[in-house]
């Protein structure tokens, strides 16, 4: 049986980011990746772009919002603010090469169990033991449709790779956050009729936090289509979907019904890929994993950490790269502490990560809202 000190599951931005930090130390680690590096990004719809802008601002102490490792910037590499999924996956490949990251692709983690000296991991290839496990399996590969009956009649937005090429002219989209709004924009621009159902007005803005409202990038595109004759917005909550003959019917909580020939598109989000570790997770009231605030270890567990967009602490949502990357340093620092790494080396690494937006331990600063 193979032994590694740290096993990281998933080679998306979270896994590659944490591995980049470990590659600054002499702690041995491996990244286990089910498909390829950046495979979630390779699966994005063709015309989808990052909503968070990239800018090569690193030299002035403001790391590119989409960077996951020091000295790198997607904007610098691609000379673009809004990268496509394929471009971002290529950026991750470049970071892998730059930092000589040890990634084993086509290796799926199937089972995780506690072992005497750490965690026993079973992959499709072998069994290995690690002392520390970082779960960075992301959300994209776990589309979510909750609270609606008849989901077998729906299609999740992530399954639609070319919205402009869909057959048919009339579409119902359930959900008006980023994916739903972007899908509607793409369809309306291609002369399709869209009815978008969302609990609140899509462009209602009562916070500056893009984890809760549309990003400025999408909002501006949405404003261009919202008065189009091909677009209508319905405030309501979808309750059930049925199929009668050639028609799909979406019924709202207030019993209003909308019909379409095409299956309704559910842009209802994603949730953490957690199958092999679900027995180790205690959930918060909102369904996200409960984590120890100091280290991002799963509650009531030691040496198993969560990295990525499902990280939550109180009301703080870390769903964007520029947010969740700030917790990478907290995880790696905990591992270095436990491995009795030289304290001066830890301080020097942490200072560097702080300067690069890769370390945030005091969450009180995340409460500040914009005032103008
Ligand atoms: C459509 C969409 C657009 C987005 N746009 C932005 C944006 O513009 N800016 C931004 O900051 N964020 C954006 N996000 C948020 C997004 O969640 C993250 O930026 C990013 O994908 C999360 O990185 P990750 O490394 O946690 O997960 P992922 O990128 O999903 O990587 C997880 C990896 O784990 C692998 N994996 C899963 N299960 C296993 C297993 N059992 N064994 C081995 N490997 C496994 C997967 O194959 C995958 O490669 C967007 C999300 C979506 C869904």
Q: For a pocket test of ligand 1, which of 7, 10, 36 has the largest count of ligand atoms closer than 8 A to its C-beta?
A: 10
pLDDT at 10 over 90: yes
Alpha helices, DSSP H, located in the chain: 13-22, 39-42, 74-78, 85-98, 178-189, 216-225, 321-324, 328-338, 343-355
CA of 309 to the centre of ligand 1 (A): 8
Q: How far is CA 42 from CA 38, 78, 88, in A?
A: 6, 16, 8
**Tens digits of per-residue pLDDT, 310-320?**
999 999 999 99
Describe the crossing of helices 328-338 and 343-355 by its angle, rounded to 10 degrees: 180
**45 CB within 6 A, ligand 1:** no
Same fold, 2-141+270-367 and 151-266: yes
User: Residue 173: beta bridge partners?
Assistant: 196, 265
- The structure tokens listed for 286 are 């909102």
Ligand 1 neighbour 272 (Cβ under 6 A): no
DSSP secondary structure code for residue 340 in this structure: T
List the chain domain ranges.
Answer: 2-141+270-367, 151-266
Q: What percent of the chain has pLDDT over 90?
A: 90
Task: Report how far apart, in Å, the C-alpha atoms of 203 and of each of 70, 180, 192, 233, 322 are.
Answer: 35, 12, 21, 11, 23
Is the shortest distance between the CB of 182 and ligand 1 below 6 Å?
Answer: no
CA distance 102 to 115: 23
Residue 73 CB less than 6 A away from ligand 1: no
Quick check: 369 pLDDT over 90? Answer: no
Span 325-342, average pLDDT: 98
Encode burial over 159-172: b for 16+ CB neighbours within 10 A, e otherwise. Answer: ebeebeebeeeebb
Residues whose CB is less than 8 angstroms from the CB of residue 62 and which lie 6 or more positions away in sequence, other chains included: 357
Our answer on whether the CB atom of 289 is closer than 6 Å to any ligand 1 atom is: no
Both tokens assigned to 56: 């090569």
Asked whether 297 lines ligand 1 (CB < 6 A), one says no
**Which ligand 1 atom lies nearest to the CA of residue 307?**
26
Average pLDDT, the chain: 95
Strands 127-135, 2-9: parallel, antiparallel or unpaired by DSSP?
A: parallel
> For 196-249, how does the pLDDT look when each residue is reduced to its tens digit (9 = 90+)?
999 999 988 777 788 888 999 999 999 999 999 999 999 999 999 999 999 999
Per-position b or e across 225-235, b if 16+ CB within 10 A of its CB: bbeeebbebbe
User: How close is the Cα of 179 to the center of ligand 1, in Å?
Assistant: 14
Q: In Å, what is the CA distance from 130 to each residue of 2, 118, 136?
A: 9, 6, 15
Residues 83-130: tens digit of each pLDDT: 999 999 999 999 999 999 999 999 999 999 999 889 999 999 999 999
Atom of ligand 1 nearest to the CA of 276: 41
DSSP-based helix, strand, coil % in the chain, nearest 5? 30, 25, 45
Atom of ligand 1 nearest to the CA of 109: 42
> Model confidence over 36-80: pLDDT tens digits?
999 999 999 888 899 999 999 999 989 999 999 999 999 999 999
9 lines ligand 1 (CB under 6 A): yes
Q: Specify the CATH architecture of the domain 151-266.
A: 3-Layer(bba) Sandwich (3.50)
Check pocket membership of 198 for ligand 1, CB cut-off 6 A. no
Q: Is 211 exposed, middle or buried (0-12, 13-18, 19+ CB in 10 A)?
A: middle
What's the CA gap between 313 and 304, in Å, rounded?
A: 17
Q: Which of 40, 101, 318 to mutate to test the pocket of ligand 1 (most atoms within 8 A of CB)?
A: 40
Asked whether 109 lines ligand 1 (CB < 6 A), one says yes
Q: 151-198: per-residue pLDDT in tens?
A: 999 999 999 998 888 899 999 999 999 999 999 999 999 999 999 999
Nearest CA to ligand 1 atom 30: 138
pLDDT tier for residue 370 given thresholds of 50, 70 and 90 = confident
Euclidean distance between CA atoms 45 and 163, whole angstroms: 8
> Is the CB of residue 308 below 6 angstroms from any atom belonging to ligand 1?
yes
Q: Which CATH number fits domain 2-141+270-367: 3.40.50.2300, 3.30.1280.10, 3.50.50.60, 3.20.20.60?
A: 3.50.50.60
Which helix (H) or strand (E) covers residue 251, if one does? Answer: strand 247-252
Is the CB–ligand 1 distance for residue 51 below 6 Å?
yes
Specify the ligand 1 atom closest to the Cα of 16: 25
pLDDT at 289 over 90: yes
The predicted pLDDT at position 314 comes to 94
């Amino acid at each position: 049986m193979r032994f590694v000190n740290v096993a990281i599951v998933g080679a998306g931005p979270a896994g590659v980011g944490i591995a980049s930090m470990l590659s600054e130390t002499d702690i041995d680690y491996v990244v286990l990746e089910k498909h390829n590096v950046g495979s979630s990004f390779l699966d994005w719809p063709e015309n989808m772009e990052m909503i968070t802008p990239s800018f090569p601002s690193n030299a002035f102490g403001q790391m590119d919002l989409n960077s996951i490792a020091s000295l790198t910037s997607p904007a610098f590499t691609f000379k673009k603010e809004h990268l496509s999924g394929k471009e971002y996956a290529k950026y991750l490949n470049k970071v892998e090469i730059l930092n000589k990251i040890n990634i084993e692709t086509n290796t799926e983690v199937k089972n995780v169990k506690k072992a005497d000296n750490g965690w026993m991991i079973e992959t499709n290839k072998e069994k290995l033991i690690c002392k520390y496990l970082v779960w960075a399996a992301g959300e994209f590969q776990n589309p979510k449709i909750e609270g609606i009956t008849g989901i077998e009649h729906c299609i999740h937005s992530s399954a639609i790779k070319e919205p402009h090429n869909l057959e048919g002219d009339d579409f119902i989209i359930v959900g008006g956050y980023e994916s739903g709004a972007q899908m509607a924009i793409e369809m309306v621009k291609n002369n399709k009729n869209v009815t978008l159902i969302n609990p609140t007005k899509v462009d209602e803005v009562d916070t500056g936090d893009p984890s809760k409202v549309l990003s400025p990038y999408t909002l501006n595109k949405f404003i261009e289509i919202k008065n189009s004759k091909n677009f209508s917005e319905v405030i309501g909550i979808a309750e059930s979907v049925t199929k009668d003959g050639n028609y799909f019917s979406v019924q709202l909580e207030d019993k209003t019904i909308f019909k379409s020939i095409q299956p309704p598109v559910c842009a209802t989000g994603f949730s953490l890929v957690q199958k092999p570790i679900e027995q180790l997770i205690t959930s918060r009231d909102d369904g996200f994993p409960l984590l120890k605030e100091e280290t991002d270890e799963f509650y009531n567990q030691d040496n198993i950490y969560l990295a990525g967009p499902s990280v939550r602490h109180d009301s703080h949502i870390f769903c964007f790269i520029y947010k969740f990357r700030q917790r990478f340093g907290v995880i790696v620092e905990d591992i270095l502490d436990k491995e009795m790494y030289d304290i001066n080396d830890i301080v020097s690494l942490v200072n560097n990560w702080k300067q690069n937006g890769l370390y945030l331990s005091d969450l009180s600063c995340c409460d500040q809202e914009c005032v103008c």
